[in-house]
Chain A
């Protein structure tokens, strides 16, 4: 009973702090900003070199107290050697999302437009090059990273002092434009975050509403122990569309306890994708990497030259029956943030 009272007291105390913080910050009016990142990476995949400079701008346009327009695009050039040793470049561009957010209340945010589908955490939170710990992508990312066109309801709120709950559910329509193509689908994600333990666990589902009506389910975990600069993340995905199951486990350790190495981060990841046994040759060809059983081990270093400039090196070894390969990625990322309005005073 005493523990329950202490918990209730703590919850009420935190609530009063939050209300006071809200009063203190209500006068700070947000301004439009342009942020995003640029990167230059050299990739070697099974002996094939590629150099890829890219820029990924993100425009944030707040309107009033409850609205936010946000859009993230990308442009990259990829240079690779042909059989004669000459470098050829191809460019690509895209629009990851362009959405309008309406913060209805503390429980609900409504989203409309093109958005990243909320499936597990890699696509929405970890995929940008300046954030991801390892520059090689996860084997499950083709399943979990996608965009939708339609509407989404999402939010996050405290259930009590010890648990935060988050959710996102969406509906997407079919769009065949080659730049902003989306599938007709629905799905969602729920998550529980324990702030004291700094542990988040959650699950996702996705149901295709066209073609073979594929469905996917997934689970994720993220844990940062309080006493050391370690992050452990993991995702599990099962998809009927690619008839496979995959997972990855990643650990990231920042050497902040050693002064001379405090800017260095070590990362390692193990992952596996298990394809179904009954895929036809045509399906395997269509699925590409996801049509085969793959195991992959990745390790890497990130060095923060500044808080916004990071040098990264990643090595991966991919085990595929009859075609093992080494994957190297070395490069730099720069995250930029610039105001698009006079900053003036806080008002």
Chain B
């Protein structure tokens, strides 16, 4: 076993290298998005935007950890899927409601 730790080390190094390269390539992509909203009711629009941003964040952090992003399904199907994932992936109650709200917007 001469190559005892060689293969995992190569993969770990490759992964870190890829991470650094991608970090350098996308450094400016996290700038805040312009909403372009012209709504006259600013407060509800801001709250909706908060829900959207927070829901999307939780969705990406929780769902995207294991699998590719699924499409949005009808609300009542989505409620079943999110309940299933709450148990399967032990996502928090808060995350479950924010993700469900985001996925049924």
Contacts and interface: CB of A to CB of B under 8 A. Distances in A.
Interface of A: 14-15, 17-18, 20-22, 24-25, 28-33, 35, 60, 62, 68, 70, 101, 103, 106, 109, 111, 124-126, 130-131, 154-158, 164, 166-168, 191, 195, 198, 200, 222, 224-232, 247-251, 253, 257, 268-272, 293, 295-297, 304, 307-308, 310, 319, 321, 337, 339, 341, 343-344, 346
A35 B89 CA distance: 17
B8 A28 contact: no
Interface residues of B, number: 63
B37 interface: no
B90 interface: yes
B96 to A, nearest CB: 9
Nearest to B105: A24
Nearest to A247: B8
Interface in B37-84: 47, 50-51, 54-55, 57-58, 61, 64-71, 73-81, 83-84
B35 interface: no
B81 A270 contact: no
B61 A195 contact: yes
Given A158-B92, A191-B90, A270 B8 contact: yes
Contacts of A257: 22, 25-26
Contacts of B74: 339, 343
Nearest to A335: B70
Report the 10 A-B pairs with minimum CB-CB distance, sorted nearest first: A228-B22, A251-B15, A156-B90, A18-B94, A270-B8, A270-B11, A30-B79, A166-B90, A106-B93, A30-B80
The binding surface of chain B is classed by DSSP as: helix
B75 A227 contact: no
A230 B18 contact: yes
B81 A272 contact: no
Given A253-B18, A257-B22, A62 B80 contact: yes
Nearest to A346: B75
B12 A346 contact: no
Contacts of B5: 272
20 contacts: A17-B51, A21-B97, A28-B79, A33-B77, A33-B80, A68-B84, A109-B87, A154-B90, A195-B58, A198-B61, A224-B65, A226-B30, A227-B29, A228-B23, A232-B15, A272-B7, A293-B1, A295-B3, A297-B10, A307-B69
